[in-house]
Amino acid sequence: MPPKRSTDLERFLSYVDRTSTPEGCWRWTGYIPPNSYGYGAIGVGMRSTGTFKMQTAHRFALAYALGRPIQPKMFACHTCDNPSCVRYESEGWYEVNGILRRSYGHLFEGTTQDNTADRHAKGRSCPGHLNGAHLHPETISRGTHRYNAQFTDDDIRAIRQRIANGARQTDLAKEYGVWKTTIFKIVHYESWQHVD
């Protein structure tokens, strides 16, 4: 007799560390994909039946707590802001942007707007003046320093001068092999602003 295959829930639970952190989180100890910002993942379903797919661990946990799939265009959001947390027990309420959402442990089903409002309310958003592009503009590749630059600084100056002398944007677009909107943005300083 072949060994019994564990269920998705059994496999999920085998990767949950219920040793509460100071915040009461249950940490996911299974697979965490690269570039996933710390969110765990689990394979659910079976390849043999064509139902296999990868799913984020916290989304799996919330769907289990809900007893149904998460609704379309809705997300599994954290009340604890810990990406590796999959705590789904202890039903309650969580207020986001003045709206009460039913929560399950540290998870709640919410919209993109709910998630953003929650992040703002907790002061986790980076305001514009603190954004990396504003704090360290020298780190942003511009103009000829970009890997896909189609123009040189001299090309930009020539385009602006030729337009000022009466050339047509359509003609310059054909000459340089770009869209007319590209020339428009150059002329109106929507792109290549650093070139005078």
What pLDDT digit, counting tens, does each position of 13-44 carry?
A: 999 999 877 888 999 999 998 888 889 999 88
According to the model, what pLDDT value does residue 129 have? 65
What pLDDT digit, counting tens, does each position of 53-99 carry?
A: 889 999 999 999 999 999 999 999 999 989 999 999 989 999 988 88
Q: At what angle do helices 180-187 and 169-176 cross, to 10 degrees?
A: 110
Query: Does 45 have pLDDT greater than 90?
Result: no
Maximum C-alpha span of the chain: 85
Cβ–Cβ < 8 Å for 75, 113:
no
Distance CA 31, CA 10 (A): 15
What pLDDT digit, counting tens, does each position of 83-95 carry?
A: 999 999 989 999 9
**Whole-prediction pTM:** 0.62
Query: Does 46 have pLDDT greater than 70?
Result: yes
According to the model, what pLDDT value does residue 124 have? 75
What is the enclosing helix (H) or strand (E) of 77? strand 75-78
Find, among 69, 63, 33, the residue nearest to 42 by Cα.
33
Average pLDDT over residues 130-158: 72
Average pLDDT over residues 148-164: 88
Of the ranges 5-14, 67-76, 141-150, the best mean pLDDT one: 67-76
What pLDDT digit, counting tens, does each position of 108-140 carry?
A: 999 999 988 888 888 777 666 666 666 666 666
Cβ–Cβ < 8 Å for 45, 100:
no
Give the number of other Cβ atoms within 10 Å of residue 56's Cβ. 19
SS3 state at 93: strand
